[in-house]
Structure 1
């Protein structure tokens, strides 16, 4: 028996699993099964990070999996693209059509004209993004390589230029911090399990500062909140460092022994006195000086940075500077000091065994996922077949209008794999029904902790739903491909992944992971990752980087301003910066169709500072249009003192078909950040006006 919500539910067995969604916490869970049906779901209580709790979204995962509108059979398009008109077909017919079209495209245009478009809807190593599910098939076919740029790419490159890796400190070590900077991360919404370790630090006297243009749930619970203008984070960090150095907070011994390029970086810091930093960021000089002095005198200082703060023209530069800050104070050498941005990469599983790059006959082009519209409309040779899985780009990608126009191409053969008929699925030629997490085998880790999990299938998939791995096996079979590894079972794939001599897997194998359900990677509970040096060419933290120069970046870490805010004409026409943060009730566009979570989230809304509302003659509840030269969307506006002036805030993930028109990404430019080809969702100038239906811009 299992108690759930005050009731006692009888179960036949309990099955170990884990959450595959795009969240740092990657919860370890237990599924209770009765008569072949999953009836309970709970966080694993003994797991040090999950600690027995799931989020408000995933708590209802079993209801989501049993939803009556879930896709259970393959579909073929019968109406114009975008109308969502389909008829049911058998799986054999679906895979025959996919095989025939893939073969035709390869022979007429070459393998590069097939684009496997994978998103973050599943982060599993077998079924999802972490193992690049399907890579073997795409390598055999010579398909274009998919460049996963939409989420955290700019920051990953920036952190790597400073430290030689994007891996930072163990997020659990923030429990040992005495000053915690939550920089551009709404922890209570996007990684709420981290808050328990922050509270442990608070119990020991730690001071918590949230840095975000919006006073989020997290900022309201912090001890202090700084609200910089979007995209000015690097300028703020350099201004804080200016105060740190002036206050004598630079660790001279650490700088001499463990860093490279301090004189040059020191000169860069001197260019950002508090008054200049205040002018650039909109944060008061007093706040900058006060926090800078606190950083100078508080050891250790730990920084948790979120991906939202690097989605602009200077996003990579910003995370690079944040990675440099603990080098100035020496906090990289202390437990509880340093930066955590992503722990991805601590898991040393044999990813290459899954990818099998050796199956690719020749190098092929790489296509950036954030340039979907441009790539589908302008490339030579053209993309003629698009296979979308774990993604809903009509909702999630920049330049929504361009994406919709591109997906409407009648000569583009599009397959969409999903659980529901999303806005993107409406543009497909073939829709394939996918299993959900309780129905397939997978291995998971998290990019916000140091654990891996085994996900055992708990129930039989409904209807014709197939796992991603089985779909790729069937495509290979229907195409008559002879490469043996294309037909490896899920159990074989898991064994190949875990057959690694990497020290992180000491004592962990398929048998032990399957038996226990989860394991901590083989790192000490309290470890300082760079105590023995940094994995840079110099072995030191690099304020100055030759690799940066070779890649076309500035040699010394510094500030790159948001592009649209530095264009005076554009800023005059569109005086507001638009930020679309994560909803507390959706995860990207996942769950945005679940009635209960939609009810709790409420209809789409935008929020403005009261002064910006008054300047536009707007009142609470007024229908407005948010627009720029790229597009527009209609919403309802409310005043909020939690929004800094000059910013309009909303949430991402809403489906077009459920909101009646374009959504926030209609206004976002399909343009790259400074590093890694990252997206620029928060480098976006707009204006807000009262909506007049007769003159609608949408």
Structure 2
């Protein structure tokens, strides 16, 4: 191959949410190699196995290349290749007929965790269609802790701002950035190499825990109790910022009374953390110098207390005076001029009467009464609306009931995009039953691969890989939580075969459903519409190497400091609410608390504790598992057992065992691991492809996927947001 046939291009990897800068080596329209971009100002040459293996994933022989239409029964594996035009004509005709006959709310859309710039763009299509039932993964991702901060500060998540020589303590809580966020971790190492002390709170002895000045190892599922004990110890010792509390907060007296119920001695019995260590940690995070806090998504998957983790974290940051403090945590807010998340998603197109029909709105206030939160947040942040729209998606477990028992009303059509709910959602058998049901008249899957969900669809459509799409991010792609910040890049290569991006799929579907004026021809034009209020274009941002931030990401008329209103808080009182007025308005407990999920009422026969979902740097959700790098390390679904526990059970490494909770049971292969406590069992989150597809058990999911064992029982889910229980379940192991 001639040398002049090879070119190098800047690329922003979207194999996970870190979005690292890379250099792509492209030969004859094919990416033959990805390398870290040493000149990228944010990631400075870092590349992980997911990025390095992206060309292999893109070129996988298992990729879907052409639209398929089901022949025969769902799940039978009988397909007919058709054109995109035929698929879209038939899908749009069915959607329009169902919407006209039964109402647009009977159409639902479910999509996976952020994986590209146009992820979640189907929400725009749904709002324009008149359906409130766009279903995201916010309930088990960063959403609960972010919502807890929104309820306290009027924005979230707060961002840690470590500074060498400034930050006194860094609290890393339930997070493994060395595996899941290496660029973020590397940016903090300069502070940790100096005088900043590291406090790690994690049920596993992670690499971060090995480096910590103090490591607390609570029993999984008890972090909220531990956090309440921190509040107790800090308040009891008077290690508070009294001036900040008096000036900026409401509800301190009530918080003090609530925290008094959680003495370190009482909480020690619940968490397994010695009372003296609880006090040591409380004192570390409440010193005279700044403390920065960083919490992980594991706290978001604790079910009934998921939002409470965010509330507790926000209260700790506030009473210690570390909010908007140099070296502590800060609220970046949304971009001042670039469109907010909800504006992107055309939330104003959805009538309030339709919004009120969102699945879960009758049970979970953050869904049904989200407009109230949105209104308050807008008061503080430039009058913008839709800032927190990403936290108000419909409730996925309720979706399956709407299909099967038509409660609260029937859902008759579902579009699944970049998501595998049969593998990744709780109560797996129920999910699969819903997707196989004749009551679901249309099931469409748009994905890179056939999987346990797409194999059941009526239409399977080939998705574009991130290298085949333009890149655009306002901080967390469309989530826009990093203040005045934007980055863009052109697609590395053109879409191959008949792959289509999320944007192009919904553009073409939208054009057929009467939405032509709302969908520009090219995604770059759409991204440009978001930039227009800031006086910028997509081409202008893409021409810049790395992100634009601060004044460079605002309109020239706003080159100065942000408006004074941005320093207020988007809450009912306009202050930091340690006692949440909005929660009280919603009929919820206005103060943070700890409570065990109801599943523990059935725990007598289940002496062990199950955790799921620990991140590996080689994999991020469903896609990377298709690469050789991941498969070499994980040839089977593994359950990690402490060697002492395995000895007591009489099981050996490499042996298959049954994992059982009160919800269900699966089998995985034993791997010894002493990083967890002796009675803690860690099971792989999921593993694709689990096995050979059969009509009875698509891809072997029912036999091996740990989500057969996780819970969405009403007594186990968060009452504010509906987050289901994935960590800290009672379990047992059998040979």
In the alignment, which of 322, 327, 339 is matched to residue 318 of structure 2?
327
Segments of structure 1 that go 5 or more residues without pairing to the other structure are 2-7, 502-506, 691-698
Secondary structure of the residue aligned to 1:275 is helix
| Cα deviation code 1:143-181 (max 9, x no counterpart) | 342242342332222111221111313556588422111
Please show how residues 7-26 of structure 1 align to structure 2 within 5 Å.
Answer: 12-23=6-17, 25-26=18-19
Q: Does structure 1 residue 416 correspond to structure 2 residue 410?
A: no
Taking a change above 3 Å as real, the CA distance of residues 83 and 230 of structure 1, as seen in their structure-2 partners, is farther
Please show how residues 515-594 of structure 1 align to structure 2 within 5 Å.
Answer: 515-522=543-550, 532-565=567-600, 567=601, 570-580=602-612, 581-594=614-627
In the alignment of these two chains, the number of paired residues is 666
Task: Check the 8 A contact 2:225/2:262 in 1, yes or no.
Answer: yes
Secondary structure of the residue aligned to 1:431 is strand
Please show how residues 23-38 of structure 1 align to structure 2 within 5 Å.
Answer: 23=17, 25-38=18-31
Please show how residues 291-690 of structure 1 align to structure 2 within 5 Å.
Answer: 291-297=281-287, 299-312=289-302, 313-338=304-329, 345=334, 349-350=338-339, 351-360=341-350, 363-364=354-355, 365-367=357-359, 368-380=395-407, 381-412=409-440, 413-447=442-476, 451-479=485-513, 481=514, 483-501=516-534, 509-522=537-550, 532-565=567-600, 567=601, 570-580=602-612, 581-655=614-688, 657-658=690-691, 660=700, 661-671=703-713, 672-690=717-735
Q: How far is 1:683 from its partner? A: 4.5
1:298 and 1:85 map into 2 onto residues whose CA distance is 67
Secondary structure of the residue aligned to 1:686 is strand
Task: Check the 8 A contact 1:248/1:296 in 2, yes or no.
Answer: no
Secondary structure of the residue aligned to 2:182 is coil
Q: How far is 1:465 from its partner? A: 1.1
Q: How far is 1:12 from its partner? A: 4.2
2:619 and 2:333 map into 1 onto residues whose CA distance is 23
Q: How far is 1:137 from its partner? A: 3.1
Task: Check the 8 A contact 2:162/2:191 in 1, yes or no.
Answer: no
Secondary structure of the residue aligned to 1:578 is strand
| Cα deviation code 1:36-93 (max 9, x no counterpart) | 2223323332334322112221221111111122111011122432343323222222
Task: Check the 8 A contact 1:158/1:675 in 2, yes or no.
Answer: no
Q: How far is 1:636 from its partner? A: 1.8
Taking a change above 3 Å as real, the CA distance of residues 524 and 170 of structure 1, as seen in their structure-2 partners, is farther
TM-score between both structures, scaled by the size of structure 2 = 0.84
Task: Check the 8 A contact 1:171/1:194 in 2, yes or no.
Answer: no
| Cα deviation code 1:345-392 (max 9, x no counterpart) | 458631455323344465152231244433321225321111111211
Secondary structure of the residue aligned to 2:499 is coil
Task: Check the 8 A contact 2:658/2:733 in 1, yes or no.
Answer: yes
Task: Check the 8 A contact 2:128/2:515 in 1, yes or no.
Answer: no
Task: Check the 8 A contact 2:239/2:320 in 1, yes or no.
Answer: yes
Secondary structure of the residue aligned to 1:410 is coil
Secondary structure of the residue aligned to 1:587 is coil
1:366 and 1:173 map into 2 onto residues whose CA distance is 43
Please show how residues 107-126 of structure 1 align to structure 2 within 5 Å.
Answer: 107-124=100-117
Q: How far is 1:411 from its partner? A: 4.3
In the alignment, which of 129, 133, 136 is matched to residue 141 of structure 1?
129
Please show how residues 123-202 of structure 1 align to structure 2 within 5 Å.
Answer: 123-124=116-117, 127-129=118-120, 133-148=121-136, 149-171=139-161, 176-202=166-192
1:11 and 1:150 map into 2 onto residues whose CA distance is 45
Taking a change above 3 Å as real, the CA distance of residues 508 and 522 of structure 1, as seen in their structure-2 partners, is farther
Secondary structure of the residue aligned to 1:225 is strand
Task: Check the 8 A contact 2:109/2:135 in 1, yes or no.
Answer: no
Taking a change above 3 Å as real, the CA distance of residues 174 and 215 of structure 1, as seen in their structure-2 partners, is farther
TM-score between both structures, scaled by the size of structure 1 = 0.88
Q: Does structure 1 residue 61 correspond to structure 2 residue 54?
A: yes
Task: Name 2:381's counterpart in structure 1.
Answer: none
Secondary structure of the residue aligned to 1:374 is helix
Task: Check the 8 A contact 1:317/1:560 in 2, yes or no.
Answer: no
Segments of structure 2 that go 5 or more residues without pairing to the other structure are 360-394, 554-560, 692-698
Task: Check the 8 A contact 2:228/2:259 in 1, yes or no.
Answer: yes
Task: Name 1:41's counterpart in structure 2.
Answer: 34
Task: Check the 8 A contact 1:389/1:417 in 2, yes or no.
Answer: yes
Task: Check the 8 A contact 2:161/2:329 in 1, yes or no.
Answer: no
Task: Check the 8 A contact 2:599/2:662 in 1, yes or no.
Answer: no
Taking a change above 3 Å as real, the CA distance of residues 111 and 605 of structure 1, as seen in their structure-2 partners, is same
Task: Check the 8 A contact 1:299/1:331 in 2, yes or no.
Answer: no
Taking a change above 3 Å as real, the CA distance of residues 232 and 76 of structure 1, as seen in their structure-2 partners, is same
Let me know the Cα RMSD of the aligned residues. 3.0
Taking a change above 3 Å as real, the CA distance of residues 165 and 344 of structure 1, as seen in their structure-2 partners, is closer
Task: Name 1:695's counterpart in structure 2.
Answer: none
Q: How far is 1:477 from its partner? A: 4.2
| Cα deviation code 1:162-216 (max 9, x no counterpart) | 2111131355658842211110111111111121122111122112122111223
Taking a change above 3 Å as real, the CA distance of residues 648 and 484 of structure 1, as seen in their structure-2 partners, is same
Secondary structure of the residue aligned to 2:690 is helix
1:477 and 1:513 map into 2 onto residues whose CA distance is 28
In the alignment, which of 203, 216, 234 is matched to residue 213 of structure 1?
203
| Cα deviation code 1:432-485 (max 9, x no counterpart) | 111112212241244496753213122222211112222223224445x36422
Taking a change above 3 Å as real, the CA distance of residues 460 and 636 of structure 1, as seen in their structure-2 partners, is same
Task: Name 1:694's counterpart in structure 2.
Answer: none
Secondary structure of the residue aligned to 1:268 is helix
Task: Name 1:273's counterpart in structure 2.
Answer: 263
